[in-house]
Chain A
Amino acid sequence: MNRLLIVDDSKLMRDMIAACLRPLGAVAFEFAGTGLEAIERLALAAFDLMVLDLNMPDVGGVEVVEFVRAQDRLRELPILIVTTRGDDDSRAQVLGAGASGFLAKPFAPAEILGEVRRLLTPARAIGRAPA
């Protein structure tokens, strides 16, 4: 069963994201309300994918990505950024920091579902240089 970590400072947004991903079927969701909690959860448990907001108190999404990518065991963790900051600068900055995907809010349920499915499929490695 895939384990997904959903990180957003709005509880409603976390719930909505989980609802959008319900069609995935057997998935275990965990939630974090701040970047710090996300880093803590990632340190204590193994996840198959993280959905991450950018604007959060203390430690923002970009800093979480940078921190996560600097750790060997989390280098391959798929990270889908979901943010209201949909501009090109934010996208370039966070993808540059190592995020795997980027989705601007608002998004349709099918969009995030498609992105998560794509990131969870091992075939995403196609076209990438073998590690």
Chain B
Amino acid sequence: MSDDVDLGEFVAGFIAESDELIATANAALLDLEAANLAGAPRPRAVRDLFRALHTIKGLAGMIGVEPIVELAHALEGLVRTADRAGSALARDAVDVSLRGVSAIAERVRAVAAQRAVPPVPAELLDAIAVAAGEVGRPAARAPAPGPTAVDAPGWDAGLTPGDRQQLAAGWGAGHRAWRVSFAPSEASAARGITIASVRARLGELGEVIKVLPRATPGQASSVAFDLLVASAAPAEALARAAATTVDQLVELIAPPAPPAPELDASEPAEAAPRDDGGAMLGRALVRVELARLDELQDQLSLLIVSRFRLEREIAALAERAVDVRALREIANLQGRQLRDLRRAILRARMVRVAEVLEPLALLVRSLGRSAQKEVRLVLDARDAELDKAVADRLLPALVHLVRNAVDHAIEPAEERVARGKPRAGTVTVTCADVGGNRLELIVRDDGRGIDRRAIAARSRRAVDADADLLDVLTSPGFSTRDVATRTSGRGLGMDIVRRIATGDLGGELAISTTPGAGTAFTLRVPLTIALVEVFSFVCGRQTFVVPVSSVEEIFELRAGQDVQPPAAAGASSPVRLAERRGQAIPLRSLGCVLALDGGADARKAIVVRRQGAPVGFTVDRMLGRHEVVVRPVDDPLVKLRGIAGSTDLGDGRPTLVLDLGALVAERPV
């Protein structure tokens, strides 16, 4: 075997993992922002942020994306300096970090779109360096008034100041601190009980503050782990989570004497929820990482694929005149159960809109500051919920609308006062479930309104009707760089808002505007969208995707694998054969079938089945696996057999979804 290893195959993995790390970094930064307001330190958020940046830096280095390495390195330095100086990340440092992380995200998108990765603006690096200089001075500001640190008596190893603060915070909330010991063994590992699972289960019951390994020579297991846990859960629950017994638990700190209950003193303490943990248990809520739900959905797609196989086998049996009625009945029942399961998983993916809108508050604050305007954001989402997949796609559209409102629609304070309006402008985002599985979001501002005359002059068409106005505003060429449009109150990027609302999500977008009083954009989007798992690949310098469920297998083309050399069939025929497990599979060049340039250096074959028979299509290379929204193709010019729809892999460009089975039918082999 050659020593040549190409890390290029990991680019798709890099994009996926970077997205997760960017989300972690943003969440940690928003948490730190909130902590600044509350005056409470968040050592965990600082650590999460640091580790996310550090990992992005390492991965980007391996893949060779220098601008991302540079950004992550600078930000990592800022966070480390802040951590060492013992100060929380101040407001300015959080701002510049958010900018830095969004610059990283932008460059990850460039990698995903196979575009050149833009270099890092020197101005941004300078801003990060300045922020690092500020937080590096410990005397720059008084330390945030955090809870008093407490020591954990009976805890052998030294706790860091951060650990102590965390412990103190838990103590203040009525938690008790425990030392829980766990000794791993082959037997428990075989049952899935490992330090990772124990740590995770204890983490659900409280806060795991520290875990230390301890050598236990001469015992059945050569190591044991001591976990310092702050929790309000009963000892039995903790012992169960650690697969041990209560007598193995050591209580380190008793909780402070509870304040005298205001209601009935004779009531048992357990009856009243004592803290968040208790309240959460009362509502039977569990916090689940999105990755776990994704995993669930992945498993479901695997189930669906094996169900297809089952159906195929049943059909094959039926062809051989076997009585398959009972089998078919079970298969149909299973199909319904799978659909129910899918619906249940979708329900589990619903998130509160109020939480989705949270980042907008931060956005308005920083936009208002940079535009030197006074802007207030009012959010009203009541109890509305929507699919996390919709939320993730919707947020960029809302960000655009809010950004435009602050940048262009809201007038400067003096102008507002002169017009008899309140000094501070207001941007309101309301959200309501309007029935029919639809959610209505309205982004409203009390700014200057849109000047229809200016828009009409610029676009040379009448925009008296709201629909026409919206059409002009959301046409891709309509730019903010024009002075007339800038003062008319809308900026660049409206085409993206429409693409997300109507294209990606299959929803509606509407506008209403009153000169001098403001503008409102109304988005109606479905609560859930159907996501399809696809493989992406390159053929003839173009990117395509195929649904995972349609793919039988993917294999690497090697010289000498052909049963019959391609030349024998003549240059006009793209068909050749490859042997897979003793079976000859006809191979067709996808590049030839779609009449694309290139495609000569095909390295992979994608096998699909057509009427039970396998057929392979050769493609240049595989890119990765994604979960996408498939849109139908409306353009009659593109409406061809073999094209199931189009999708967006995150680069804003349409990517065709192929139905390879149908392509086989087009030219029978």
Contact = CB atoms under 8 A, between A and B. Distances in A.
B58 A23 contact: no
A58 interface: yes
Interface stretch (B217-225, B401-409, B585-593): B217-225
Contacts of B270: none
Contacts of A105: 58, 61-62
A123 interface: no
B114 interface: no
B212 A25 contact: no
B213 A19 contact: no
A16 to B, nearest CB: 5
A105 B62 CA distance: 7
A105 to B, nearest CB: 5
Counting chain B CB atoms within 10 Å of each CB, the highest count among A10, A20, A34, A113 belongs to A10
B222 A43 contact: yes
A44 B189 contact: yes
A25 B1 contact: yes
Contact of B223 (A9, A13, A43, A83): A43
Given A20-B5, A36-B196, A43 B51 contact: no
If over half of A's interface residues share one DSSP class (helix, strand or loop), that class is named, otherwise mixed; here it is: helix
Contacts of A22: 1, 5
B155 interface: no
Contact of A71 (B2, B69, B194, B222): B222
B7 A109 contact: yes
A59 interface: yes
Contacts of A13: 55, 58-59, 62
Interface string B1-43: 1111101011001101100000000000000000000000000
Interface size classification for chain A: 35 or more
Contacts of B9: 19
A90 interface: no
A109 to B, nearest CB: 4
Counting chain A CB atoms within 10 Å of each CB, the highest count among B3, B57, B221 belongs to B3
Contacts of B13: 12, 15
Nearest to B208: A58
A16 B10 contact: yes
Contacts of A70: 215
B201 interface: no
A44 B213 contact: no
Contact of A10 (B3, B7, B17): B17
B54 interface: yes
Contacts of B199: 36, 58
A37 B17 contact: no
Interface string A48-74: 000000011111000000010011110
A23 B62 contact: no
Interface string B101-117: 00000000000000000
Interface in A83-131: 83-84, 105-107, 109-110, 113
B47 interface: yes
B117 to A, nearest CB: 15
Interface string B130-163: 0000000000000000000000000000000000
B156 to A, nearest CB: 14
A67 B215 contact: yes
Contacts of B185: 44
A73 B294 CA distance: 40
Counting chain B CB atoms within 10 Å of each CB, the highest count among A12, A20, A44, A58 belongs to A12
B54 A84 contact: yes
B257 to A, nearest CB: 32
Contacts of B57: 84
B5 A19 contact: yes
B186 A40 contact: no
B223 to A, nearest CB: 4
A34 B17 contact: no
A74 to B, nearest CB: 9
A11 interface: yes
A12 B59 contact: yes
B456 to A, nearest CB: 52
B19 to A, nearest CB: 12
B70 to A, nearest CB: 13
B211 interface: yes
Contact of B5 (A23, A43, A59, A83): A23
A13 B21 CA distance: 13
Interface string B172-216: 000000000000111001000011100100000000001111010
Contacts of A40: 184, 189, 194-196, 223, 225
A15 B64 CA distance: 16
Nearest to A44: B186
Nearest to B62: A106
A124 to B, nearest CB: 19
Given A33-B196, A84-B61, 11 more contacts: A12-B59, A16-B10, A16-B62, A34-B196, A44-B185, A44-B186, A44-B189, A56-B51, A84-B54, A110-B5, A113-B5
29 contacts: A10-B59, A12-B10, A12-B14, A12-B16, A12-B59, A13-B58, A15-B13, A16-B7, A16-B62, A22-B1, A22-B5, A23-B1, A23-B3, A23-B5, A33-B196, A37-B196, A40-B194, A40-B196, A44-B186, A44-B189, A58-B199, A58-B210, A59-B213, A84-B61, A106-B58, A109-B3, A109-B4, A110-B3, A113-B3
Interface of B: 1-5, 7, 9-10, 13-14, 16-17, 47, 51, 54-55, 57-59, 61-62, 64, 69, 184-186, 189, 194-196, 199, 210-213, 215, 217, 221-223, 225
Interface of A: 9-13, 15-16, 19-20, 22-23, 25, 33-34, 36-37, 39-40, 43-44, 55-59, 67, 70-73, 83-84, 105-107, 109-110, 113
